[in-house]
A and B are shown apart, each in its own frame.
Chain A
């Protein structure tokens, strides 16, 4: 595992214990399901760390990819719930109920392949990736970047929301796709099923962390940081910068799609309210609070902000948006590197001192970012 150093393994183990042992033991099924829901945003922020933190490409439309993954899964589950027997009171039995309400009499072509679970599982990362590929190629080969790119991604989020709401008969409209019941005959609604789904979700998230870490520790990861710093220098070192941006944008989209699918499974429905501009910006806030240059920091950011959101909304629903806005401003002003920045400044030196030192490794500077960690023995 050359892409993990000892500190990575330590903190990854801590996260794994927290997710796989502490939360399941400490929380009841309802709260655990909530944590599972928060963790689905963990997938999105992983992508944002690579895209925004490393490569400097701010996307304000990650909800689109989260939503597409979620809708893919919802379409499969909805078809399974819409058997001719279960829908025999409809004028056209065997199609999803909202289609029947909208006078649609046969299943649209793009719904057909979602009868297959294998197709659905492939579509969950690939459909978001395909959209990211199209948007990415169109933008990055024309060298659209920075604020302009962020605005375009917002526009994409707005367009997709309007499309979903407008095409009620095909998408379930503003209500979304609801009343999802079983996955290959296995009921996803009872508590014990939710606990199983929680573990699947946590396992997948840890897997995606490893994958993202592998990308970051490869030369590609260093090229992303280099592009953020001096894009022209990378270009004049013989790299096609646009290809690298498209890759990282697609990677972020694919993992966000997986998060969306796990959201649908655990929450039991998917609706446009998780797709649009506001949820997309919230995802960026999770990432900023946790630290946009730290994979694990961003996951903790998602957990903490979502948890705060639930507690706040239970106590004072109206105050939540204000509280979240203030939190964001506070983080940007006081801790530009988020929780991970605080950790690096105050905790990491302590960890370094406590960890037994392997031979021949120079201590990293205090402000070191993950991308800056030198591999052991490099250049010695």
Chain B
């Protein structure tokens, strides 16, 4: 089975590389590594010296022919190990999945990560090592797939049913009364949100539904949903402030100016 998979891997990688290059065009991939300082203070000191290993990765993945296929195969091996590492970290979310299922998930993550990396090779600017830049694609792919599997078949809570539970988490009578008043104010402000903002806030912030899971269910993107969540939170904070509640300067929770 391992031999079959290795042979299949080679074919799949060749197909992936060919498909990506057909989409983006080879000139964009060649010689795109830069050692320029980020210029914005981001990663200053990390990108200052030439990183020959990173340059070699980009050069090999950007050149046509067998060398690129070999580099893609090496990178896929790295991404597969990273995906397995990430899935193993999150294995508690998979009580009903077998080891074979999880390994398939790791392979899918590595394949998708490699596709993204090859498509976006020209975006690498050397603000980190190439391997760090590449590994984040595998981490994000594996993490999203883990969350989707963990929520497969589960109902998404879209109604706010958790307020009493939240109030009960207060440590003492005074804190309970304060938390109850604050939560009541927040609950009323949630009712003033638009239907979409309320739906997203309840699912993500109150019910802790993973944002990419909700994005799939609602047919949108993680970025678009976070914008909606951000707008909802902005309105909630403004509403609480108008009621006399003050945001904490550092640590703690909102306090009422009495």
User: Do A and B come together as binding partners?
Assistant: no
